Amino acid sequence: MEIKNESHNKLVQQITHCFPLYFICIHCNYHLHKQCAEAPLSLPNHPLHPQHSDVGFFLRERPRSFDWKCLDELPTKIDHLTHRLHPLILNRGDSDGLCNLCQKQHSGPFYGCSLCQFKINVECAWPRSIVEDKSRHQHPFSMLWRQGSFICDACDTEGNYISYICLKCCIIVHKKCTSLPRIIKFSRHDHCIFHKYFLQTQYLTRQDCMICFNEVKLDRGNYSCGKPGCNYVVHVNCVLEDDELYKVIEEEKQCEELYEKSMQSSIIRFIEMNEARKATTIQHFSHQHCLVLADKMEEEIDRKCDECMLSISTLFYYCLECPFFLHKTCAELPRIKQHWFRQGNAILLFKGFLECNFCDQRCSGFFYYIGGWEMCLRCAKVADIMKCEGHQHFLFIDFKYREKCNGCGKRCSNGAFRCGKCRFALDFGCLTLPHSTLHKIDEHKLKLTYDDDKEQIYCDICERQRDPSLWYYSCSICDTSAHPECVLRQFPFVNDGVTFPSYYHNHHHDLKFFRKVEGYLECFHCGKLCQEEILKCEESTCDNIIHCECSD
């Protein structure tokens, strides 16, 4: 029943003829013929299609089709080592099916056993017997057929039937793991990380994967940081899961360069320094006047930082010529940086009014633009692994999490920060709530509070019931408590006077947002009187207001 070496090689050749030389993505099964990969992205014209030659032709992907002529040259029935009981029959395969060898969905012809529902895609039936790529592993790998499963030394997960072994290193790996990148830069870690088949350690400690928070077996393959004192380690499959989160580094010396290039400061110029060499006057890219450092507000007003839209209490820069304030920490945020959310650059921008794609809050502050996503600064400051006051353990980001948030009780549609030790998760919205805030219901600042031991509880603002397991704002002196959305209202992070985009209302002029208005004005939509959170038309012919709630 064994396929002799010679005939195996002949079949490999035949398959190579049907599937000629191609470029393959090392992370998935995507491949392109060499010729196709090198084709130009567009052609100005083509003689075979003159009628549209003025428009040009653009390279697009066409649904994959098999070269059926090749099929005639393949044996119609084979004995295959992975299925010793019955012969396998060639089948044209018009729909997608799971290939039992590579465990992936395939379209196109396959060899199958109808008795056992066993299927092998034609492309997978005769894998190359030797794989060699010195940039990935110093020795060649040889293929080994096995019945049943094995554990891959490179990624510590199970594989079936086909494995590749390196006799010099005594390792057995998946086909895909023969070409794992040796070094990658992962967006959630500042340093480059290296693939190792095992990690030596002097301690008897358990190390958790910094992505999924399950244990990493140190005597198995993983990616780890090479910097002394940095214990960052992750599972191979966790770190390579999303190719937007990492970049392959070909040479070790590129690591340092990469780190230096990825930053650009927001402070254009230091104008004055004090004795402690702290910048006391700066020029910030976002403002035309100089900004001066201060550590206390002169008047007692609730002043917001124009970047993050949170209250300012200590250490901030302000403008002497116009009302513009920045937390010192916000002013120092880089204009271009690497953010853990994506491998590409995050760019600081200001558009007047945007909705954050992470916390869903409308905000008139600054945003980081990260590969098509807009992230407000409150969200951007949250680390991928973090601790917050409302929970005793570390929380880590899980973008696939869809269950309830323990802060607000809503389903997490944008993923959540969850605990690896217990059932607890928080969405971006709750994690970035202000720790304290003012509301006219109480003369003191209301504090964000995380648990309540009372049984029957009501919100002092809307007077409706409150779920004691969810977060709320409270004042312990006056025993006030209220829903976060009642305290903060709809637009806590929008500045007075900001113009709302027209998709928020259907008025024919620009409308400006005001948190409060003097006197009582009638809403031109519902006719009621209102003083809070309104949109105002300042055109002299209109001079109308509309409640924000009535605008959408």
Binding site for Zn ion (CB under 5 A): 152, 154-155, 174, 177, 209, 211-212, 235, 238, 305, 307-308, 327, 330, 356, 358-359, 376, 379, 405, 407-408, 427, 429-430, 459, 461-462, 483, 486, 509, 523, 526, 537, 539, 542, 547, 550
The CB-of-367 to Zn ion minimum distance in angstroms stands at 8
The CB-of-441 to Zn ion minimum distance in angstroms stands at 10
> Quick one: 122 or 239, whose CB is closer to Zn ion?
239
Q: Contact 236/211 with Cβ under 8 angstroms?
A: no
The CB-of-211 to Zn ion minimum distance in angstroms stands at 5
The CB-of-261 to Zn ion minimum distance in angstroms stands at 26
> Quick one: 57 or 150, whose CB is closer to Zn ion?
150
The CB-of-5 to Zn ion minimum distance in angstroms stands at 26
> Quick one: 358 or 491, whose CB is closer to Zn ion?
358
Q: Per the structure block, which two tokens stand in for 414?
A: 């944008």
The CB-of-121 to Zn ion minimum distance in angstroms stands at 19
195/155 Cα distance (integer angstroms): 10
The CB-of-491 to Zn ion minimum distance in angstroms stands at 13
Q: What angle do CA 362, 365, 368 make, to 5 degrees?
A: 90
Q: CA Rg, the chain, in Å? A: 31
The CB-of-365 to Zn ion minimum distance in angstroms stands at 8
Q: Contact 380/307 with Cβ under 8 angstroms?
A: no
> Quick one: 154 or 282, whose CB is closer to Zn ion?
154
- Give 253-258's long-range contacts (Cβ < 8 A, gap of 24+): 255/183, 255/185, 255/191, 255/192, 258/185, 258/192
For residue 97, give the amino acid letter.
Answer: G
Q: For CA atoms 526, 529, 534, 535, give the dihedral sign.
A: positive
> Quick one: 111 or 287, whose CB is closer to Zn ion?
287
Q: Give me the DSSP letters along 137-168.
A: -SS-EEEEEEEEEEE-TTT-SEEEEEEEEETT
> Quick one: 509 or 516, whose CB is closer to Zn ion?
509
450: three-class secondary structure by DSSP = coil
- The strand ranges marked E within 190-299 are 193-196, 207-208, 215-216, 222-225, 233-234, 246-249, 267-273, 279-284, 291-294
> Quick one: 390 or 429, whose CB is closer to Zn ion?
429
92/270 Cα distance (integer angstroms): 70
> Quick one: 240 or 523, whose CB is closer to Zn ion?
523
> Quick one: 88 or 488, whose CB is closer to Zn ion?
488
58/51 Cα distance (integer angstroms): 15
Which residue from 512, 550, 516 is spatially nearest to 533, judged by alpha carbons?
516
The CB-of-17 to Zn ion minimum distance in angstroms stands at 29
The CB-of-494 to Zn ion minimum distance in angstroms stands at 13
As beta bridge partners, residue 522 has: 529
Contacts of 198 (CB under 8 A, 6+ apart): 218, 219, 220, 221
> Quick one: 8 or 547, whose CB is closer to Zn ion?
547
Q: b or e along 266-276 (b: 16 or more beta carbons within 10 Å of the residue's beta carbon)? A: bbeeeeeeeee
> Quick one: 96 or 538, whose CB is closer to Zn ion?
538
The CB-of-194 to Zn ion minimum distance in angstroms stands at 16
Q: CA 224 from chain center: how many Å?
A: 20
What torsion do the CA atoms of 250, 256, 257, 261 make, to the nearest 10 degrees?
120
